[in-house]
Amino acid sequence: MPNELPSWADTETRRSIVAFVERVTSGPDAVPEAERVAVFDNDGTLWSEKPMPTQLHYLVEQWKRQVEADPSLAANQPYRAIASGDLAWLGGAVEKHYQGDDSDLQTLIGAIVGTTAGTSIEQYAASVEEFFATATHPTLGTPYSQTIYTPMVELLRYLEGHGFTVYIVSGGERDFMRPMTLQNYGIPPERVVGSAFGLSYDPETHEVRYAGGLDFFDDGPEKPVRIWSRIGRRPLFAGGNSNGDQAMLDFTRKGSGFALVVHHDDDSERGDTPYDKGAEKVLAEASANGYTVVSVKRDWTRVFPGA
């Protein structure tokens, strides 16, 4: 077996990935290198998102400080969840979104944009960098850099080695991801596409600052729109793990590309939490839509860097 993709078991999944890449990079069906674009979701696809997405952990810490400074905030969500220590409402808001119900998500977004309103892009970046330098995963107890999915990083390198340009296309906020993508994934900030807060330029201080609103939420049907507006090409390879990634996968498949879905089904002691919630639709329609499903349990011989 080649040394490429060493943390992938020799299964049909791995073989189908290799066969596709070989077909589109050599021989009569080779695609010009400029058109070899790969896009990957972040949370749950490139690193762990349970028990909560990493950005939500960061926000919880920010909201705790806000509630300490102003206890009256605890009368409303999400601050009520923070004050009580019962964070189930937060996860429920995200899961309801994946089921098509954004009622709680809108409340959540309102609090999210409130954490950055008026701050400069440099101040926010410094805050995020400090979080990544000190925070640990809530259940694994390791730095977030140790919750990266090793097989997926190998896949990024494998694709790049065959002339692909790789982008991250996530529902996560763009500027929250940018400080960590180069170190953890080898993806520079200019190739990070995500949700975005509104921005404005302050001519007095010559700084770019965050406005009090969300510019766009990069999930579901918005993903293909953001891919086209930022990249200008239909992807040849796409990877995701949730219902919110399905439009991106279908956009890729329409162009005869490869669509991969990470299924978190590993009930072993390797540390990855098994779950289907929020991915029921994409998993149910995988066969009919031509997605290749990656079983964490069967297709990966290793999950995290320290394993």
CATH classification of the domain holding 42: 3.40.50.1000
Taking a C-beta distance cutoff of 8 angstroms, is the pair 168, 185 a contact? yes
pLDDT for res 87:
86
Mean pLDDT of 218-235: 97
pTM, entire model: 0.94
Q: Is residue 77 part of a domain?
A: yes
pLDDT for res 261:
98
Same domain, 184 and 285: yes
Q: Is residue 265 part of a domain?
A: yes
Encode pLDDT of 188-213 as tens digits: 999 999 999 999 999 999 999 999 88
Q: Is residue 58 part of a domain?
A: yes
Cβ neighbours for 290, distance < 8 A, ≥ 6 positions apart: 253, 259
**Looking at the predicted structure, is the pLDDT value of residue 1 above 50?**
no
Q: Is residue 5 part of a domain?
A: no
At residue 44, the 3 state secondary structure works out as coil
Q: Is residue 224 part of a domain?
A: yes
Same domain, 261 and 122: no
Please name which of 265, 14, 273 lies closest in space to residue 137, comparing C-alpha atoms: 273
- Rounded distance, CA 162 to CA 195, Å? 29
Mean pLDDT of 156-172: 97
Same domain, 146 and 276: yes
Taking a C-beta distance cutoff of 8 angstroms, is the pair 41, 169 a contact? yes
- Top pLDDT among 270 and 91 is at 270
**Looking at the predicted structure, is the pLDDT value of residue 2 above 60?**
no
Q: How many folded domains does the chain comprise?
A: 2
- Top pLDDT among 157 and 4 is at 157
pLDDT for res 307:
67
Mean pLDDT of 246-263: 97
Same domain, 108 and 157: no
Give the domain-ending residue among 134, 152, 182: 134
Encode pLDDT of 14-58 as tens digits: 999 999 999 999 999 999 999 999 999 999 999 999 998 999 999
Whole-number mean pLDDT of the chain? 94
Same domain, 210 and 147: yes
Same domain, 86 and 103: yes
- Rounded distance, CA 6 to CA 232, Å? 32
Give the domain-ending residue among 134, 155, 183: 134
pLDDT for res 248:
98
Mean pLDDT of 143-170: 98
Same domain, 149 and 231: yes
CA distances from residue 194 to 111, 120, 168, 202, 241 in whole angstroms, order as listed:
18, 18, 8, 23, 16
Bridge partners, 239 (sequence order): 40, 260
Going 57 to 229 to 160 to 19, the CA torsion angle's sign is: positive
Same domain, 184 and 289: yes
**Looking at the predicted structure, is the pLDDT value of residue 167 above 50?**
yes
Same domain, 261 and 229: yes
Same domain, 96 and 27: no
Q: Is residue 103 part of a domain?
A: yes
- Rounded distance, CA 107 to CA 111, Å? 7
Domain hosting 100: range is 54-134
Same domain, 104 and 42: no
Give the domain-ending residue among 80, 103, 134: 134
**Looking at the predicted structure, is the pLDDT value of residue 269 above 70?**
yes
Mean pLDDT of 209-220: 93
Q: Is residue 305 part of a domain?
A: no
Q: Is residue 281 part of a domain?
A: yes
Encode pLDDT of 97-137 as tens digits: 878 888 898 898 889 998 999 999 999 999 999 999 999 99
- Rounded distance, CA 14 to CA 205, Å? 52
**Looking at the predicted structure, is the pLDDT value of residue 79 above 70?**
yes
**pLDDT more than 70, % of the chain:** 99
Same domain, 294 and 217: yes
Instruction: Kindly give the residue spans of alpha helices, DSSP state H, lying in the chain.
Output: 12-25, 54-69, 79-84, 88-98, 103-114, 121-134, 150-161, 174-185, 222-231, 246-254, 280-284, 286-289, 296-299
